[in-house]
Amino acid sequence: MYIPSFNKFSNNQEAIIFMQRYSFAAIITVKDGIPSATHLPFLVTEIDGQLILFSHFAKANPQSADIINNRALVIFTEPHAYISTANYEKDLNVPTWNYLAVHAYGNCFLLEGEAEKAELLKNTISNYEVGYLKQYESLPDDYKLKMMKGIVGFQIIVDDLQAKKKLSQNRTEKERENIIEQLEDSSNTSEKEIAEYMKSLDKKH
């Protein structure tokens, strides 16, 4: 990903927090020169200093076979906003787009045992709806086993993390204030979130 120096995340921990917040991401793999993508929820964890992503495919998804002995790119991105030139101090400008994105690359490994898949599902439920966990655990074992047979669990050991936050860092203080004010007044949730990220960035400087 093209990342100018002033658009970099401050550190990997900041990128991990972003991934955990916007954890519904796109996994991309390539087979025979043809890319495939699936949108999945990911568990983003650090184990002994190593960043690992966990998720699962439906077994019927052809891409679930592509990850075997393969590398993947997982793209985490969510809030974005169109930035109008009305916010700029000079007329000689063009509009742009503000956004945040994290690209995680790594090798894929299957979670083949029933115990591993059961742990994956338990952790996924705990992450997204802990209140459902008790109900899930009370389901008949044969039903849960049937569900597990219909998925392909996997983990990705991340070895390359690329993170970009394009938040008008190259604009003047007045222009940034104008942009934040406009985005905060928007009814669009994504635009409001970009304003919050811009304000947070200002506080660090």
63/139 Cα distance (integer angstroms): 29
Q: What is the pLDDT of residue 202?
A: 62
Provide the pLDDT confidence category of residue 69 given band limits of 50, 70 and 90: confident
Question: Tell me: the pLDDT tens digits for 13-55?
Answer: 999 999 999 999 999 999 999 999 999 999 999 999 999 999 9
Q: What is the pLDDT of residue 203?
A: 66
Domain annotation for the chain: domains and CATH numbers: 5-170 (2.30.110.10)
Question: Tell me: the pLDDT tens digits for 120-177?
Answer: 999 999 999 999 999 999 999 999 999 999 999 999 999 999 999 999 999 999 999 9
